[in-house]
């Protein structure tokens, strides 16, 4: 999903399912956001009201506390309009779309332009609505004070711009600082979560390697015995041994040549083809030669899934079609297999779940995976934009 349109600072952290320890400050739930914004502006309003009430002024001199509050209340409320304009323009415009995207020159220019607009808005309100409200409130207290000397129009506008800009930039700066703190906190949490998911995925791979290691050593002994008994049996043992060797010694690497990944798929298909014999209709198209690097063990789970949920459950004439193409570093795999009509595959197995996680970790925003299921067909479309640089280390993601 894209959060750029909502103005949230998490536009760069799309995959972060962050558990927030301070929901009042960091949560984006509607309830917490409402409470946070209401509390923020309430505190600022009360603070401004008291500041204005005790500001030295001939109009307020000698008057009681509540009279001061009464006279400054409309100014405080009306001056919130330009303050709200600047604060929210910075929080939901400049910061998420410019600062977070590291477009600092545009961010500075936009901030200056917004400050100027805020000053003009403040001055316009001051010499129109606010002056009118002040006059009528003062007239209710004293006609003499209401009709007292006033500054020239140009001076009044200049003072109004400075006064409005002072308050607006103060609260705008505070709001922007809080927003930036929230953004950087979410960035840190996203990095921690990504690292945790990476470690979990590697742990799952490690667990998958424990038992095959024992089998690999045992298969070597079986192979030596079957060579003199059955050529087919020894060939199958050798294919299985090659498959396990790849999982053990190549699976823990960051990158492997695509050739090795495809060779592993060929060995797996050889084993399964022997199992089904002539009853299996298998169509396979693989690239003949390619040394482009790829993260290991990304394609096999889909092939294994085609046999597990497709061929093994189809009684009559099981079929599988696998097409892998490589064009300009773009790897495309289309896998289609028949399945028993009405047979629901249910939740994806741990192999597919792990592949999804590894794709998100190793190829973020560089892959698409579509899995669809119909009555008698299961379809997988995978597209990965591979890294052409063989020295690229995916383990730092």
**Positive or negative: CA dihedral 309, 312, 314, 318:** positive
- The tens digit of pLDDT for each residue in 124-176 reads 877 777 767 766 666 655 443 444 445 455 555 666 666 666 777 788 888 88
pLDDT, residue 60, reads 60
Q: Phi-psi region for residue 12, left (φ > 0), alpha (ψ -120 to 50) or beta? A: alpha
Distance of CA 66 to the CA centre of its chain: 51
How many C-alpha atoms does 36 have within 13 Å on its Cβ side? 16
Q: Phi-psi region for residue 29, left (φ > 0), alpha (ψ -120 to 50) or beta? A: beta
Greatest alpha-carbon span in the chain: 120
Q: Give the chain's residues under pLDDT 50.
A: 1-8, 10-20, 142-149, 151, 210, 390-397
Where do the structural domains in the chain lie, given as residue ranges?
4-197, 250-396
Q: Is 7 exposed, middle or buried (0-12, 13-18, 19+ CB in 10 A)?
A: middle
Please choose, from the candidates 394, 363, 358, 390, the residue with its C-alpha nearest in 3D space to the C-alpha of residue 254: 394
> Which DSSP category does 12 fall into?
G
Between CA 31 and CA 60 the distance in angstroms is 40
> Which DSSP category does 55 fall into?
S
The CATH topology of domain 250-396 is: Heat Shock Protein 90 (3.30.565)
Contact 347, 332 (CB under 8 A): no
22, two tokens? 């301070």
C-alpha distances in angstroms, 78 versus 119, 125, 158, 305?
14, 8, 18, 65
C-alpha distances in angstroms, 77 versus 52, 69, 121, 156, 269?
11, 12, 14, 20, 74
- Is-above-0.85 flag for pTM? no
pLDDT, residue 18, reads 42
Structure-token match 């799309």, residue found: 14
């Amino acid at each position: 999903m894209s959060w750029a349109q909502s103005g949230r600072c998490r536009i760069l952290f799309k995959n972060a399912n962050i558990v927030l320890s301070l929901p009042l400050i960091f949560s984006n739930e509607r309830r917490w956001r409402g409470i946070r914004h209401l509390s923020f502006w309430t505190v600022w309003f009360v603070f401004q009201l008291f500041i204005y009430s005790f500001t030295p002024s001939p109009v307020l001199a000698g008057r009681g506390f509540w009279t001061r509050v009464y006279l400054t209340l409309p100014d405080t409320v009306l001056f919130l309009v330009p303050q709200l304009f600047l604060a929210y323009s910075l929080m939901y415009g400049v910061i998420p779309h410019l600062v977070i995207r590291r477009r600092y020159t545009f961010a500075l220019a936009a901030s200056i332009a917004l400050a100027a607009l805020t000053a003009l808005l403040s001055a316009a309100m001051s010499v129109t609505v606010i002056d009118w409200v002040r006059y009528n409130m003062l007239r209710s207290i004293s006609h003499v004070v209401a009709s007292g000397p006033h500054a020239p129009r140009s001076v009044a506008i200049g003072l109004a711009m400075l006064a409005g800009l002072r308050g607006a930039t103060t609260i705008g700066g505070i709001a922007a600082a809080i927003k930036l703190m929230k953004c950087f906190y979410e960035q840190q949490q996203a990095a921690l979560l990504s690292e945790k998911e990476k470690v979990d995925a590697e742990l799952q791979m490690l667990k998958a390697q424990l038992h095959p290691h024992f089998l690999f050593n045992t298969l070597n002994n079986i192979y030596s015995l079957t060579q003199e008994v059955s050529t087919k049996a020894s060939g199958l043992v050798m294919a299985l041994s090659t498959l396990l060797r790849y999982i053990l010694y190549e699976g823990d690497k960051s990158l492997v040549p695509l050739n090795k990944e495809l060779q592993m798929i060929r060995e797996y298909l050889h084993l399964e083809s022997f199992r089904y014999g002539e009853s299996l209709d298998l169509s396979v198209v693989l690239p003949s030669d390619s040394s482009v690097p790829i993260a290991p063990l990304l394609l096999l789970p889909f092939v294994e899934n085609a046999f597990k949920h497709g061929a093994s459950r189809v009684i009559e004439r099981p079929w599988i079609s696998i097409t892998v193409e490589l064009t300009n570093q773009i790897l495309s795999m289309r896998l289609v297999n028949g399945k028993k009509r009405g047979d629901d595959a249910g939740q994806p197995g741990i192999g597919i779940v792990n592949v999804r996680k590894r794709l998100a970790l190793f190829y973020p925003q560089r892959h698409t995976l579509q899995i669809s299921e119909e009555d008698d067909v299961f379809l997988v479309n995978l597209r990965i934009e591979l890294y052409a640089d063989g020295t690229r280390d995916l383990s730092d993601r």
